[in-house]
Structure 1
Amino acid sequence: MRGAAPESVASALESGDPLPGTAGFAGRLPDGRLVRDVLGRELCYYDDGEWSHDPEPLRNPTLLPAGHVYESGETRRVWTLPDPAVDDERPVERVREAIGNALDDVDDDGLAVAFSGGVDSALVAAHLDAPLYVVGFDGSADIDAARESAAAMGREDDLHVHEVTLSEIEDAVPEVSRAIGRTNAMDVQIALPLYLVARRAAADGFDRLALGQGADELFGGYAKVAKAPEDPRVAADTVRGARREVLATLPDQLERDVRALRAAGVEPVTPLLHDDVVRAALARSGEWLVSGDVRKRALREAARAWLPNAVADREKKAVQYGSLVAREVDRLARQAGFKRRMDDHVTKYVESRR
């Protein structure tokens, strides 16, 4: 069992508590049952009586769905993410306490921080005595933001900048595609910068990488959530409902990201996805998720206890765009003859490199 003591997981199964105070777990209990936490923060695969935390050792691996148990050849759901009533008493304080406690529990040993300069990774960096790593192409928004935020936080000497090259991306495309088991353009473009920053940290001797993952999904960081119900990408008619739709995508995203990071030689550490932070986020009203043009309002207000306002307020592009990786993968696809007029030309390029 990874992520939690077997007895704690067994207790959560008995009580039905989907958020029992862990940072995620998956694996085999002493009685033989396989289990995976409600958000899928850890991985568990099975095949013909065998199981593994990674798919490679198994002939035909099946990923155990998040919130499920596997026993006697069948899977069944045992946990569902709570949908609590709004409780906006001391909203900022509750979020701040949950984040602070989650980060205080993180061990700094062998740890580096993936730092792109936004509020999520800056929150993690502010609490941890660990070096900061950012990757991107020369002139990318992520590198500029990381430098500016590190300077504002007095951490510029801790920042390691790795400017990637086109040939480096070209070599990494098939490696990442194989590692995550996917060829679609979006997944590969998202996984690439994670893989590259993890590989750089691993080369410097670190075997754990802390990330700000989950904050956008939990606290309303996406434009489609902020624009609900007008945005056609979500079916919900409220910000909270749209946030729940986005949260449902986390298990699939986490499988991709965990596999990419492990292939690069590090174990991910995601304190902003701790159960206590999840509980604090779920109780917030829509106005504490999105207020006017401000997304992740509760998170940003909580962050001011540790971060300069300029960092707490910073808006940032998604990693595949902020690092310019998506742009350069598109360039590689076109150079290889996969023109934009072709349907899903980048995916076709990735498939040709497998």
Structure 2
Amino acid sequence: MKAILALEDGRTFEGEAFGHTGTTTGECCFNTSMTGYQEIITDPSYRGQIVTMTYPMIGNYGINPEDAESSAPHVRGLVIGELSPVASNWRSRQSLPEYFTEHKIIGIEGVDTRALTKHLRSAGAMRSCITTELSAEEAVQAAKDSAPMAGSDFVKEVSTESTYLWDGESREWTIPNTCTGQIGTYKELPEVKYNIVAYDFGIKWDILRHLRQAGFNVTVVNSRTPAEEVLALKPDGVFLSNGPGDPAALDYIHAEVKKLLGKTPLFGICLGHQILTHAFGGDTFKLKFGHRGGNQPVKDLRTGKISITAQNHGFATDTDSLPDDVEVTHVNLNDDTIEGFRHKEYPAFSVQYHPEAAPGPNDATYFFEEFAELIEGNRK
């Protein structure tokens, strides 16, 4: 079925629909990852967004429930160049169109994603509409009428309603190697050393898996949980998760995290980093087109080491807004934006990118060990 992607500035692209039909709106952005489309569409951080994949063919290895980052897809829509007619992988359980049909997500293929990405880099991420039922003019108007990302609070839509102890499969899988005769198997998990609380702002399952692999026992709580209730659990530390939307719109969360400063070790990732920015007294701003993909270079100012990182964010910390007691530890080499910082007095640090890398490289997994070291130091 014919489908239209319309941007709020009037630019339109035609293609073919797959999965669900109808009309959907959201902020149109792009991701440069070459693999990991399933992890991307199930990442709660993409709530409210229509994602364009710059890699030309998508869907070739199907969908596998074990690789999901949450229980359902969160993207408003998916834009791709070519949909693979075959889903070929021994772990695949269904095709991408079947998955989208099941969850009522609209995809559009046959789009010139190179032209679209170049347009978004020039004009910036913007409101958009995918439709199989509206005219081009009506679709543009629908995009204009949709809510902007700035000022949005999608955390309340994706956070868990009830507290739970993470007990999902967290063992690392060893890939079979037919050349050496190595049989695929799971690595045994280490013993639990620390009990922590994780605020769920839209937490990815692979972050929870990595925390468990690093020896953490994780209790996950709702984003609206008061600091007093968290401290009453007597955690060894508190983790601030990733999530969607505008961090500046989360005043009620900033206030509770601020109460935790100096009371317990804190570690934040992505939205958790931005929330910590506000808790420290700083500000955030919206990037023109964001950082989304598995190829972002980041420099560790403490060591001079450069890592290639996985990222997914449309907002960043305002450097000039940070107080003097906050030290910037990491910067993005593409645009010099802040990618990590720590507090000079309190046991608190965060990074803007994704150390768990799902999808992406594994250069930055050492942050989970740094969190453990911070907790050990705080105990002493």
Higher-helix-fraction structure: 1
TM-score scaled to structure 1, two decimals? 0.25
Higher-strand-fraction structure: 2
